[in-house]
Amino acid sequence: MAPKPITWNGKDDQGKPLLWNTPGLTWNGFLPERRRNMAHLRVLLGFTDAADHALEERAGAVIDGLYGNAAYPTPPVTKVALQTALTDFTAAIAAQVQGGSAATAEKNNKRDALIGLLRQLASYVQENCNNDLATLLASGFEAVSANNASQPLAKPAIVSVDNGNSGQLLVKVKAIANARCYEVRYAIVGAGGTLGPWQNGGMFTNSRAMPLNGLTAGTTYEAQVRAIGGSTGYSDWSDPSSHMSM
């Protein structure tokens, strides 16, 4: 379709509207560029309908990512309040196993309370991320994606490796957006830092407490974690972290 000529209020000596391509007419202006509407990033609220352990995971990721982040100096919910709500919810989940309908109702109440705090923080992050995806994701929340294509997963970062029960190490990583689960492997650190063969430590949906069991007390182990999912199936293995089993 041929473009329509642009007119203005000027007229020639015969009273006809001046056109942009009128012979002899010099026009040194420019047509304004059409401004593209920039999509505004939104926080994904999928945690409101997530399974209980997935909700725990999201709350933990927000605790790790939001507080102390310079992009979010004044969260409307304190770290202590969110951690308390998460701890109460986790305890209520455990109590539900042996309890009846009353325990289930209590767990649901704790779940609703945690979700309420997360929704407040999600609104705060959405307003303060400066429409920057990296800044939004650094908060521990996920973004609503305008592109449904699967992407490679980020490389996990081990936050800590701590002692649990006797012969047990607990590995914690920062949650990875869109990861289905996490795989852990470990190896014995021998004399001179020589590593033994890697052993499979299992797969976990909770990135905040991945136990390695049956370890030998007094032996140092090195652990690595990778996320499962995304367009490539697996992320890269994390940088290793070592700790002595007690």
**Domain-embedded: residue 218:** yes
E-assigned strands of the chain? 7-11, 17-19, 158-163, 169-173, 181-188, 199-204, 210-212, 220-228, 241-244
**Domain-embedded: residue 3:** no
Which among 69, 51, 30 is positioned nearest to 107, based on CA atoms? 51
Q: What is the pLDDT of residue 31?
A: 47
Is 115 in the same domain as 166? Answer: no
**Domain-embedded: residue 84:** yes
Q: What is the pLDDT of residue 178?
A: 81
**Domain-embedded: residue 219:** yes
Q: Which of 138, 172, 195 is the last residue of a domain?
A: 138
Q: What is the pLDDT of residue 230?
A: 84
Is 184 in the same domain as 104? Answer: no
**Domain-embedded: residue 2:** no
Q: What is the pLDDT of residue 18?
A: 65
**Domain-embedded: residue 98:** yes
Q: Which of 78, 108, 138 is the last residue of a domain?
A: 138
What is the CATH number for 196? 2.60.40.10
* Domain count along the chain: 2
How far does Cα 96 stand from its chain's mean position?
28
**Domain-embedded: residue 39:** no
Task: Provide the residue range defining the domain that includes 204.
Answer: 158-244
Tens digit of each residue's pLDDT (9 = 90 or more) over 136-174: 999 999 988 766 556 888 899 999 999 999 999 999 998
Is 102 in the same domain as 180? Answer: no
Mean pLDDT by 10 residues, the chain (246 residues): 55 68 59 57 91 91 94 97 96 88 94 97 96 92 73 91 95 88 95 94 90 96 93 92 95
Is 102 in the same domain as 63? Answer: yes
Per-residue CA distances from 202 to 65, 181, 206, 219 (Å): 25, 10, 12, 20
